[in-house]
């Protein structure tokens, strides 16, 4: 809660020096339980652009800290990265965290300095998707090649394949997208989902 973090929070606005000095080696001791499968010490903070935005990231990180200990839970990491404009799969994030158990996901917490290299890894990863990729992906379901896919089929796919979505999530996503025949114009659909 905004007012109450004041007495505890140290001045957070100091910008880290650019280039090598900002190499955020993961905090040694607090590296929680299992060593991460990805060796984060090799992640260079050498990306100047990255370090310029560190303060922005720190701010967003703070918004997700509901407890006031300047840390966030494992199960929030993926969301924070997404809030910052990245697009990791849950699997990628779990790998970064060392494939923690469900209990660890809920209980363990990580502070900003340990979070940064994880974010850097995701930013550096080549898995960026653009408009065309999404359209391509959906074209797979376009049986008749007429620019539409069956809404029902899309729903089944989203709930059974990949990183399954819940019914509520699918409903929220598909609201207003299906026409009276239950079809979705997927180019329009992709424009819609990218217009946030």
CB nearer to other proteins: pick between 39 and 162:
162
- Of 13-42, binders to other proteins (CB under 8 A) are 13, 15
Determine if 169 is a binding residue for other proteins (CB under 8 A).
yes
Residue 100 Cβ vs other proteins, minimum distance, rounded to whole Å: 18
* 151 lies in the site for other proteins, by CB under 8 A: no
> CB-wise, 24 or 88, nearer to other proteins?
88
Cα 46 from Cα 194, distance rounded (Å): 30
Residue (of 40, 108, 112) closest to 74 by Cα position: 108
Distances (CA, A) of 83 to 4, 120, 129, 150, 183: 23, 14, 16, 30, 30
Which strand (E) or helix (H) includes residue 151? helix 151-160
109 and 74 in contact (C-beta within 8 Å)? yes
87 binds other proteins (CB under 8 A): yes
Interacting residue ranges for other proteins, rule: CB under 8 A: 1-8, 13, 15, 55-56, 59-60, 62-64, 67-69, 78-83, 85-90, 129, 133-134, 137-138, 140-141, 157-158, 161-165, 169, 172-173, 175-176, 193-194, 196
């Amino acid at each position: 809660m905004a007012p109450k973090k004041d007495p505890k929070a140290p001045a957070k606005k100091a910008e880290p020096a650019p280039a090598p000095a900002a190499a955020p080696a993961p905090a040694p001791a607090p590296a929680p339980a299992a060593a991460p499968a990805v060796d984060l010490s090799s992640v260079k903070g050498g990306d100047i652009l990255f370090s310029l935005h560190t303060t922005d990231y720190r701010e967003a990180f703070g918004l997700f800290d509901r407890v006031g200990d300047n840390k966030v839970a494992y199960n929030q990491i993926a969301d924070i990265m997404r809030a910052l404009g990245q697009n990791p799969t849950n699997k990628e994030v779990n790998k970064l965290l060392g494939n923690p158990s469900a209990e660890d996901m809920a209980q363990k917490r990580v502070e900003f300095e340990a979070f940064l290299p994880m974010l850097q890894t995701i930013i550096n990863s080549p898995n960026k998707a653009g408009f065309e990729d999404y359209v391509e992906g959906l074209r797979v379901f376009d049986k008749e090649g007429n620019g539409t896919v069956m809404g029902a089929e899309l729903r089944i796919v989203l709930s059974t394949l990949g990183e399954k979505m819940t019914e509520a999530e699918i409903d929220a996503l598909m609201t207003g997208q299906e026409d009276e025949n239950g079809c979705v114009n997927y180019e329009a659909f992709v424009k819609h989902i990218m217009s946030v």
